[in-house]
Amino acid sequence: MQVKYIKEDKQLIFKIDEEIDHHSSEKIRKRADYEIQVHIPKKLIFDFEHVTFMDSSGIGMLIGRYKLLSMFGGKTSIVNVNAPIKKVLEMSGVLKLIPIEEIENIGGNNLEKCI
């Protein structure tokens, strides 16, 4: 997972570059919680451009980070979601809490710098 923090916008971006299942979500969770508590961002963005697979473990992982950041008053969203993952996200109802956003709306340049 690549992490980018944009100070001026208080945006924290997690670019995940592996399949998200029970095995990988434990690792992602540890790193994500550390970064969230260090930066306390206003906005947290999960970039799924390189995520090819996600099962329900990913739902639990996303909700957990959403809850943590909510305690600090921050918002969470997801970008670059492929169709199969969108299907899982829609089914779980998690999109009501963590919406999928268009990259343009959150500053596409920032995401580019992330790579």
Partner 1 sequence: MKNVYENEMKLEFLSKSNNESFARITIAAFVAQLDPTIEEISDIKTAVSEAVTNCIIHGYEEKEGTVKIECKLFANSIEIEISDNGKGIENVEKARQALYTSKPELERSGMGFTIMESFMDEVKIESVLGLGTKVTMKKMIKANVEQEIKI
Interface pick for partner 1 out of 2, 17, 23, 31 (rule CB under 8 A)? 23
31 binds partner 1 (CB under 8 A): no
Cα distance between residue 113 and residue 64, in whole Å: 26
Cα distance between residue 33 and residue 40, in whole Å: 10
78 binds partner 1 (CB under 8 A): no
Interface pick for partner 1 out of 40, 60, 100, 103 (rule CB under 8 A)? 60
Interface pick for partner 1 out of 1, 3, 40, 63 (rule CB under 8 A)? 63
33 binds partner 1 (CB under 8 A): no
Interface pick for partner 1 out of 9, 49, 55, 101 (rule CB under 8 A)? 55
Cα distance between residue 93 and residue 97, in whole Å: 8
30 binds partner 1 (CB under 8 A): no
Per the structure block, which two tokens stand in for 43? 């906005």
Cα distance between residue 39 and residue 113, in whole Å: 18
Cα distance between residue 80 and residue 101, in whole Å: 8
Nearer to partner 1, 6 or 32 (CB): 32
Beta strand 75-79 with 43-47: parallel, antiparallel or unpaired?
Answer: parallel
List interacting residues with partner 1 (CB under 8 A): 19, 21-23, 25-26, 29, 53, 55-57, 59-61, 63-64, 83-84, 88, 91-92, 94
